[in-house]
């Protein structure tokens, strides 16, 4: 039975990955900060899908938390989903530097270290995959969140190139607005975002798994966001900045 380790596994896209992979017969390692919630999610998955779920409570903005997950990855997994992340409500200059550093620790250092912990075993077995959850924000310019997600995309593409010639795949997943707890946790106002732009976490994961099987290196779920990203690459940087500022007012 293959094993998947998912960070940020108790809600949103992480929980959707857990459901999908459990349905596909994966044994799961669920990682998040809240151990009680992890145990609850693991029990739900056991009852619904009959799969075993290992619970690993770890705060990935701490070295202790990262080291705990690294040790588990050294034991070997077949799929790593680096999903844990958060956003800031305020503008860059209004956010305390400590919070900005926490974001970089989670979005960049954690993704780097956990990917590096998983890949050697995958390469030795010549099978496995890493999905790094980024965002459509990676293709636009708005503060450290989009900057950190742009790093995730570039890092994933670069690492995928390093794995070329093997059966190990690395993919960046770049969803748009998704109905999750993300915005509530960051105290972001969702009221100004039209329903047209919202995606479901389960649909995002379904498209992600399809793209992973096809060998796609940067997955942008849903045709609406594929068009937005494609058009965004053709627009002048100043115009993209104006669009990003308008979008940020609704975050």
* 19-33, 134-148, 209-223: least confident range: 134-148
Residue 135 pLDDT grade (very low, low, confident, very high; cuts 50, 70, 90):
very high
Q: What is the mean pLDDT of residues 144-156?
A: 95
Q: Which two tokens stand for residue 215?
A: 């060998």
Residue bearing tokens 């690395």: 170
Q: What is the mean pLDDT of residues 41-52?
A: 94
Residue 188 pLDDT grade (very low, low, confident, very high; cuts 50, 70, 90):
very low
pLDDT for 183 equals 47
Class of domain 3-248 as given by CATH? alpha beta
Q: What is the mean pLDDT of residues 136-148?
A: 86
* 37-41, 183-187, 227-231: least confident range: 183-187
Active site residues: 145
- Measured CA to CA, the distance from residue 218 to residue 172 in angstroms comes to 5
Residue 241 pLDDT grade (very low, low, confident, very high; cuts 50, 70, 90):
low
In terms of pLDDT, which residue wins out, 145 or 3?
3
Question: Does the pLDDT of residue 185 top 60, yes or no?
Answer: no
- Measured CA to CA, the distance from residue 88 to residue 112 in angstroms comes to 21
- Measured CA to CA, the distance from residue 214 to residue 180 in angstroms comes to 26
pLDDT for 109 equals 98
pLDDT for 144 equals 85
In terms of pLDDT, which residue wins out, 60 or 100?
60
- Residue 98's nearest CA partner among 64, 137, 61, 135 is 61
- Residue 179's nearest CA partner among 192, 166, 197 is 197
Question: Does the pLDDT of residue 149 top 50, yes or no?
Answer: yes
Q: What is the mean pLDDT of residues 57-76?
A: 98
Q: Which DSSP state fits 139?
A: G
């Amino acid at each position: 039975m293959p094993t998947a380790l998912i960070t940020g596994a108790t809600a949103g896209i992480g929980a959707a990955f857990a459901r999908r992979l459990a349905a596909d017969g994966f044994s799961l390692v669920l990682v998040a900060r809240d151990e009680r919630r992890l145990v609850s999610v693991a029990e739900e998955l056991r009852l619904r899908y009959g799969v075993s779920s290992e619970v690993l409570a770890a705060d990935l903005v701490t070295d202790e938390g990262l080291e705990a997950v690294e040790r588990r990855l050294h034991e070997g997994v077949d799929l790593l989903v680096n999903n844990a992340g958060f956003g800031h409500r305020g503008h860059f200059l209004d956010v305390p530097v400590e919070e900005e550093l926490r974001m970089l620790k989670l979005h960049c250092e954690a993704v780097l270290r956990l990917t590096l912990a998983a890949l050697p075993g995958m390469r030795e077995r010549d099978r496995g995959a890493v999905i790094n959850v980024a965002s459509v924000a990676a293709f636009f310019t708005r503060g450290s969140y989009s900057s950190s997600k742009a790093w995730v995309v570039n890092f994933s593409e670069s690492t995928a190139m390093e794995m070329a010639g093997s059966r190990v795949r690395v993919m960046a997943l770049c969803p748009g607005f998704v109905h999750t707890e993300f915005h509530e946790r960051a105290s972001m106002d969702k009221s100004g975002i039209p329903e047209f732009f919202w995606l479901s976490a389960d649909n995002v994961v379904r498209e992600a798994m399809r793209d992973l099987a096809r060998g796609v290196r940067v997955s942008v779920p849903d045709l609406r966001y594929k068009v937005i990203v494609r058009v965004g690459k053709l627009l002048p940087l100043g115009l993209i900045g104006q669009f990003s500022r308008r979008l940020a007012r609704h975050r």
